[in-house]
Structure 1
């Protein structure tokens, strides 16, 4: 069984988290059956960007990170307090652990800024929120990332993306990294994507 840590910051976007639970959940029941998602956060209760409350299964401080095979992180909104948790050293240390152990890391939208703040994107290709009015790409560049004008960017085992619309693509890329192209295509077909 491949265990995926879904790391949630207060103020995360529910839709960006749900793609991981859905894609990897579909795989568990209808695909090759090898994926299990565990949610974790710094707090025992989290509030999503649009004010809905979530109870993560584990607290970050309780985790044995060696049990996990991959990391997934949804983005969120500054106005909802996302960066308070996403830039917390406990949060960043989880990211560093996965990078140090050469495990897949998948992020959606501004979650790439957590990766950048952790230091793991120095000299690596990446992207983040791409709206013309946003400063997020410039912020990501300040962390040493080689910012790409792409919707989804893979640099080795790290995946970053430009907006919430890319979330399913990121989740499927993570599933492919953990299983296979043929299994991922089977799950995509069952979910109506192909």
Structure 2
């Protein structure tokens, strides 16, 4: 008989609803397949907690856990406020108190900030939503942040990326507890991937580099970003900036953390992703983004995002780009109306 595994999900006002409901549905589906998870929703003071969408979830208080069976998993859900404001003392206290009686701890999205504030990520690898990864690394320098991972396991501590990746995390926990076959069955039941290809950079927004402090570098970067297809070789970039290639490379590395060539490539792959998002084909995207050939684009895309352009385009389908509809003047004397751009 399967031993009961107690899961405590920690909530707070403004918690992201999907951070809570996604993993909870995974555990519920696992129970239907033979597992035995008992999920409890807890908040620092108990009572109804209002979520990000306005729905309220009834929670227990920390006092309600006193004398309860050993907790198998503490799962800290996320919310925008954890990354943009100091983590509330009550949340930190709750994390520490429950973690002391848990076999493992996990977080969804910005819940990693609560784990970090409680000291549970010190010296560990972790991830969070791609948009807040840099802030997590800045605020907690003792944490090694992996911004492109969907979830990271470091011993008995699990962290996951943004929002829906809480489902990926929960599936991985089920696989640890009951094997991949049962977890695969849960994934099929929920109609989700057991393990998504690539990292969360494929979902991220456009390039967001810090503004260089030196004027020549700012101008070069602006030129590259505005027209990546026409970005010249590094030697020409250096000539335009009136400096040596070596000095230009030192400036790029010091201010942006990458070489000039890597910067151009990063801009081009982000441009390519944007073009694919808008419905362009792979060959057209390669030309417009400056890669020239679809094979060159494919290699760079896989290097940065872990998936091919064709795979990415298939997973995020959009209506194909249509050329502007141009009406033509007919030589016929027919009174048929001229076609318009509406289809």
Q: Quick check: 2:95–2:115 contact (8 Å CA) kept in 1?
A: no
How far apart are residue 133 of structure 1 and its match?
Answer: 9.2
**Residues 162 and 174 (structure 1 numbering): CA distance in 2 closer, same or farther, change over 3 Å?**
same
Superposed, 1:3-42 pairs within 5 Å as: 3-29=6-32, 31-42=33-44
Q: Out of 138, 146, 149, which is 1:148 matched to? A: 146
**Residues 84 and 34 (structure 1 numbering): CA distance in 2 closer, same or farther, change over 3 Å?**
same
1:5-34 alpha-carbon deviations (Å, 9 max, x no partner)? 1111222101110012100001112x1232
Q: Is it true that 1:53 corresponds to 2:56 in the alignment?
A: yes
* In structure 1, distance between residues paired with 2:49 and 2:119: 25
Q: Which residue of 2 aligns with 1:116?
A: 116
Q: Out of 76, 80, 85, which is 1:77 matched to? A: 80
In structure 2, stretches of 5+ residues that fail to align are 194-343
* In structure 2, distance between residues paired with 1:132 and 1:20: 21
Q: Which residue of 2 aligns with 1:191?
A: 190
* In structure 2, distance between residues paired with 1:148 and 1:108: 14
Q: Which residue of 2 aligns with 1:62?
A: 64
Larger radius of gyration: 2
* In structure 2, distance between residues paired with 1:34 and 1:61: 24
How far apart are residue 69 of structure 1 and its match?
Answer: 1.3
In structure 1, stretches of 5+ residues that fail to align are none
How far apart are residue 129 of structure 1 and its match?
Answer: 2.4
Q: Quick check: 1:108–1:164 contact (8 Å CA) kept in 2?
A: yes
Q: Which has the higher strand share?
A: 1
Superposed, 1:152-163 pairs within 5 Å as: 152-163=151-162
1:43-62 alpha-carbon deviations (Å, 9 max, x no partner)? 31211123221111x21122
Aligned pair count reads 186
TM-score w.r.t. the length of structure 1 is 0.84
